[in-house]
Amino acid sequence: MTPVIALVGRPNVGKSTLFNQMTRSRDALVADFPGLTRDRKYGEGIYEDQRFIVIDTGGLTGTEQGLDAEMARQSMQAVEEADIVLFMVDGRAGLTAGDELIADHMRRSGKQAHLVVNKTDGQDPDIAAADFYSLGFESIFMVAASHNRGIRSMLELLLPSE
C-alpha cells in the first residue's frame, strides 16, 4: 500500500515548497502570491524504501467564497483521499484566524491531521511552536521547507516502517 499524504493550509504557508522537496520535482508552482495552485497536484516521493504519494492543494482561507470555495473543495477532496493529512501553518506569521477556522474544519471532518509549522528558519523553535499549541494538535512538526529542514525526520515518523 502506498500512503497518500495531503498538504492543506492557508495560501502562502509553504505547501508547494514542501511538495517540491518531498517529490524533488519542479511540478508544483511555487509563487509569492497566494492562490496560484488551484487544482490538486499529485507527486510521488520516496523515503528510504517507502514510496508515498503527496497531494498539493491551493489552500484554504477558512472563509470561502467564489474561487476560494473551489480551492476549499479541492483541499477537502485531498483530505478525503489522504491517509495522512498535514496541516501547515506559517511560523513567521504566527497563528491567524484563518488557521483556527481550518483547524475547526479539520476537526469536524473527523480526519486526524498533524500540525506542521513551517518557516522556522532563523526562529527559536520553542517560541515558534508555542503560538500554535492552542490549536490542540497531538503532534507538531517543525520544518523549514525551503531549507529542506525537518522533512526527513517528519517522514520517518509518519511513514509506516517495514
Judge residue 33's burial from the number of C-beta atoms within 10 Å of its C-beta, 0-12 exposed, 13-18 middle, 19 or more buried. Answer: exposed
Q: Which is nearer to ligand GDP, 59 or 137 (CB)?
A: 59
Tell me the window of 14-22, 63-71, 105-113, 151-159 that interacts with Mg ion (CB under 5 A): 14-22
Binding mask 56-85 for ligand GDP (x = CB under 6 A): ---x--------------------------
Q: How far is the CB of 10 from Mg ion (least distance, A)?
A: 10
In the structure, how many helices (H) and strands (E) does the chain have? 5, 6
DSSP string, 57-96: -----SS--THHHHHHHHHHHHHHH-SEEEEEEETTT---
157 contacts which partner out of Mg ion, ligand GDP, none, CB within 5 to 8 A by kind? Answer: none
Site for ligand GDP in 116-145 (CB under 6 A): 118-119, 121, 144-145
A 10 A CB-CB count for 110 gives 7
Cβ pair 6, 81 in contact under 8 A: yes
Pairing relationship of beta strands 140-142 and 113-118 according to DSSP bridges: parallel
Q: How far is the CB of 87 from ligand GDP (least distance, A)?
A: 12
Answer for which of 10, 16, 52, 55 binds Mg ion (CB under 5 A) is 16
45, β-bridge pairs: 52
Contacting positions for ligand GDP (CB under 6 A): 11-17, 30-32, 34, 37, 59, 118-119, 121, 144-147
**Binding annotation for GTP:** 9-16, 56-60, 118-121
